[in-house]
Amino acid sequence: MDWTEKRVLVTGAGGFIGSHLTERLVDHGADVRAFVRYNSRNDPGLLRLLPGERLDRVRILMGDLRDADAVRSAVRDVDVVFHLGSLIAIPYSYARPRETVETNVLGALNVFEAARDAGVEKVVHTSTSEVYGTARYVPIDEDHPLQGQSPYSASKIGADKVAESFYRSFDVPIATIRPFNTYGPRQSARAVIPTIITQALVQGKVARRGTTPTSTTWCVRFSLSPSRREQSGRRSTSDRTTRSRSGPSPRRLHPSWRRRSRSSPRADACGRRRARSSGSGATTPGQSASLAGLRLCPWKKGFCERLHGFGNTWASISPTTT
């Protein structure tokens, strides 16, 4: 798929992942609209860190996801919607559960309704590993129960189910992805991976939390090139893949979510690396999507993000523990 002049809306574009996705889409010639929550400073968030020549090619739209008219105006005449906007702070959700639910559930509803009415080609809805709560077993797979352990996780479960209902009821081409511990440049230093890195650099040791070490990987990869399976025209109709996502053509899980061999501590072709983590280890399959975003992995300089071309593809998620 050629992204040149493709009209794309990114909600939550001022955030960590959203700003990287916006930058990459611009690099590939897309006509990008960045939906950013309004503030009196006219601050576009982390988009301000983009090089000037890239930022000049982004149309920044200020608004609020809870405002249906603002969302409808942003979605009008776009081809693709990447919905990343949400209130993501778990502690804040305890203090402001209503605001969290209104933004994450009603905001998602506004996006999906606008996308349905506008007839967009694809909606990629970004969920979270928090919907699984504390792991009942590891590695987590798509059969794992959803657990609303915080107002935030409950709100994301609600948004996921609204996405599923729009696919099933209205045939809206929605794909849901559930990243785990994504990390990299522009991320808040309060997040778990930057905290671990800071502890290692400053204290020379890392505080262990939890009692069950697991072998997982630190990688979120949304590949943008057609998979071999899709290129060969093979398809699977496994119902198992639909339980943590909705999408126009469910397929069998991509094998890259499976735990890496314990005898292979180095990286594979995707730059993944075996890691020893504490706590409730989690690996979950990702979303088969017609579009995709970026790949984050810890190998080589601690971070890399790449796009692999565009088209129908696999998007695999290989998370760390929290």
Q: Which active-site residues does the annotation give?
A: 152
C-alpha–C-alpha distance, residues 186 and 47, integer Å:
10
Contacts of 17 (CB under 8 A, 6+ apart): 84, 126, 179, 182, 293, 294
Structure tokens at 80: 């693709």
| Cα 132 off chain centre by | 15
Contacts of 149 (CB under 8 A, 6+ apart): 130, 133, 134
DSSP assignment letter at 304: B
* Dihedral in degrees, nearest 10, Cα atoms 174, 175, 176, 181: -140
Structure tokens at 256: 């890259």
